[in-house]
Amino acid sequence: MSKIIVRGGQRLSGRIKIHGAKNAVLPIIAASILGSEGESVIYEAPPLDDVIVINKVLESLGIEIEYKDETIRVNAQNISTCEASYDLVRKMRASFLVMGPLLTRMGQARISLPGGCAIGTRPIDQHLKGFEAMGAEIVLGQGFIEARSKGRLKGAKIYLDVASVGATENIMMAASLAKGTTTIENAAKEPEIVDLANYLNAMGAKIRGAGTGLIRIDGVERLNGAAHTVIPDRIEAGTYMIAAAITGSDLYIEGAIGDHLRPVISKMQEMGVQIEEDENGLRVFTHGPLRSVDVKTLPYPGFPTDMQSQMMALLLTADGTSIVTETVFENRFMHVEQLVNMNAQIKVDGRTAVINGGGKLRGAKVCATDLRAGAALILAALAAEGETEITGIHHIDRGYVDIASKLKQVGADIERLVVDTLEEEVKKDSISIFTISPSPSMA
């Protein structure tokens, strides 16, 4: 088991380079299933545990896949089975994104039910509603979902009850090979949806309106492999922006796209953080104390739920009382208990947390209960007095490449102990097909 040790109080300076976006690359890898001829080449694929898992899902379907130097090559000409096993799907919910591509290309898919996770129940009813509207028959079995279609799926008008990111992606992929036109109303507008649509269009799909609430997909008869470069990870970028602000430092976040981070930039500026944008990234620095603000998470372009816990860590260092309301997931305050162990003053009532900022954070032994909770603990630890020991690091590895070494390089007193290289972790998990460069923090 690995753990991260942080001794707080260091000023940071320099540049941090942002990797490709986890939440963009996962659906893009799933979409590569649709390419019946030619190779897909996916650049800027971050070396994350989640990427390894979805690659393994594709491999288990008989697809040829190679992952080297942050580039994934997929040859999906032959697919030998339409079933994704429980062992893989339980490791990562996003595995369910292979349902749409398999169903539309092969006429059937059988996927284990993705489990609930720490941040909420996370149903998939909107994905299934979309597939059914396109003519698929859905069978819910013991622990699995099977979808079948007689012939090609048919284009349909689909209204999503919630602007679900995953449902929008799954339906968009399924509709790409359907007969006729599909419209998705109340579609999610996240930049990752636009990135997926760009990749699908490069494969030969006809998608318009991605990034708005109304997406129109004119189905085509076949799609082929294509080359695509994944967008930078806005949540990774936002996390390092907060690292700069929480330590009163000056950091340049290389690769961050300001337009993808508008709600985060705006809230941080409201707090008094200085942010300068240019075409290559963002400079984040502070002058003087920060002010409290209220934050409500919402689907894009609202404040991202994936930045809520990190923002809460920052609000602990601001003068005054802040209110954080989580509207996207019903159980995403698991980090509060851990932050309270670090002397944070936070009270939770349902979906609202009241944060009394300005007190001294103290180092403690804490546990990452989920991915972004883990990021928030690292951030709080950077600002805390004394030493913090963070366990549950496997959650953080799902979404951050080399977080400890990236922060160390800009001056943080941080180390990762009892280290396995990604390669060793992969071996333990009997994954042998990938060649992965050892990551600096783990070597």
Ligand X SMILES: CC(=O)N[C@H]1[C@@H](OP(=O)(O)OP(=O)(O)OC[C@H]2O[C@@H](n3ccc(=O)[nH]c3=O)[C@H](O)[C@@H]2O)O[C@H](CO)[C@@H](O)[C@@H]1O
Ligand Y SMILES: C=C(OP(=O)(O)O)C(=O)O
Binding residues for UDP-N-acetyl-alpha-D-glucosamine: 93, 122-126, 306, 328
Q: How far is the CB of 300 from ligand X (least distance, A)?
A: 7
Residues that bind ligand X (CB under 6 A): 23, 26, 93-94, 120, 122-127, 162, 164-167, 188, 192, 305-306, 328-329
Q: Is 82 a residue of the active site?
A: no
Beta bridge partners of 210: 212
Cβ atoms of 19 and 46 within 8 Å: the answer is yes
Min dist CB 398 to ligand Y, Å, is: 7
Of the pair 70, 190, the CB lying nearest ligand X is at: 190
Chain position whose Cβ is nearest to ligand X: 166
Instruction: With CA atoms as reference, report the closest residue to 26 among 67, 69, 55.
Output: 55
Report the partner that residue 332 touches, choosing among ligand Y, ligand X, none (CB closer than 5 to 8 A by kind). none
In the chain, the N- to C-terminal Cα span, in Å, equals 15
Which residue is catalytic, options 5, 41, 106, 117? Answer: 117
Known binding-site positions for phosphoenolpyruvate: 22-23
In the complex, minimum distance from the CB of residue 334 to ligand X, in angstroms, rounded to a whole number: 14
- Least separation, in Å, of the C-beta of 298 and ligand Y? 15
- Comparing CB distances to ligand X, the nearer of 146 and 233 is 233
Nearer to ligand X, 15 or 122 (CB): 122
Cβ-contact 220, 177 below 8 angstroms: yes
Q: Which is nearer to ligand X, 12 or 192 (CB)?
A: 192
Q: Which is nearer to ligand X, 191 or 281 (CB)?
A: 191
Element at 345 (helix H, strand E): strand 345-349
Report how far residue 296's alpha carbon sits from residue 291's, in angstroms, rounded to the nearest whole number: 16
Catalog residues that contact ligand Y under the rule CB under 6 A. Answer: 23, 93-94, 119, 306, 371-372, 399
Residue 372's binding partner, choosing from ligand X, ligand Y, none, with beta-carbon cut-off 5 to 8 A by kind? Answer: ligand Y
Q: Which two tokens stand for residue 304?
A: 């991202």
CB 147, min distance to ligand X, A: 14
Q: Is 306 left (phi over 0), alpha (psi -120 to 50) or beta?
A: alpha
Q: Over the range 289-301, which residues count as b (16 or more CB within 10 Å of their CB) and which as e?
A: ebebbebbbbbbe
Tell me the DSSP string of 144-186. Answer: EEEEE-SSS-B--EEE-SS--HHHHHHHHHHHHTSBSEEEEET
Residue 126 contacts which entry, ligand X, ligand Y, none (Cβ below 5-8 A, type-dependent):
ligand X
Q: Which residue is nearest to ligand Y (CB)?
A: 306
Choosing among ligand X, ligand Y, none, which partner's interface includes residue 399 (Cβ < 5 to 8 Å by kind)?
A: ligand Y
Of ligand X, ligand Y, none, which one sits near residue 371, judging by CB under 5 to 8 A according to partner kind? ligand Y
- C-alpha 335/C-alpha 314 separation (Å) is 13
The conformation of residue 388, written as its DSSP 8-state character, comes to E
Query: Sheet holding 227-229: strands in order across?
Result: 64-68, 71-75, 39-43, 227-229
* Residues labelled catalytic: 117
